[in-house]
Amino acid sequence: MVSSCGSCNAKNMVSIPRDIYYVVTSGSGGIGIFTNSSIADMFVSNTKGAHRIRTTSLDEAVQHLSVACMAGSIQINPHRVK
């Protein structure tokens, strides 16, 4: 998208941020769909076998979590690697 300055008429490219979803299917303390990477990282950082994906579609995030659940690959690890 191009935006024009009202004062000087300069043209600027403007990008519209997309929604981003982080799906944690194996982590320490919790699993789920998050919209904040810092929160998702809390469940996967320093956790052996942790799994997180990033997607721009809520439907895809829900599908990934559902498939992992049906496959039995959801795992909440009680301990972090130190």
Write the pLDDT tens digit of every residue in 12-60: 877 766 899 999 999 888 889 999 999 999 988 888 888 899 999 999 9
Give dist(CA 34, CA 27) in Å, integer: 13
Q: Is the pTM of this model over 0.75?
A: no
Residue 60 covered by a domain = yes
Number of domains into which the chain is organized: 1
**In this structure, what CATH number is given to the domain that contains residue 36?**
3.40.970.10
Q: Is residue 59 part of a domain?
A: yes
Domain of residue 32: give its range: 17-77
Residue 7 maps to a domain? no
Nearest to 79 by CA among 45, 31, 29: 29
CA distances from 27 to 16, 22, 31, 54 (A): 31, 12, 6, 15
Q: 30 in a domain, yes or no?
A: yes
- Residue 16 DSSP symbol: P
Instruction: Establish if 38 belongs to a structural domain.
Output: yes
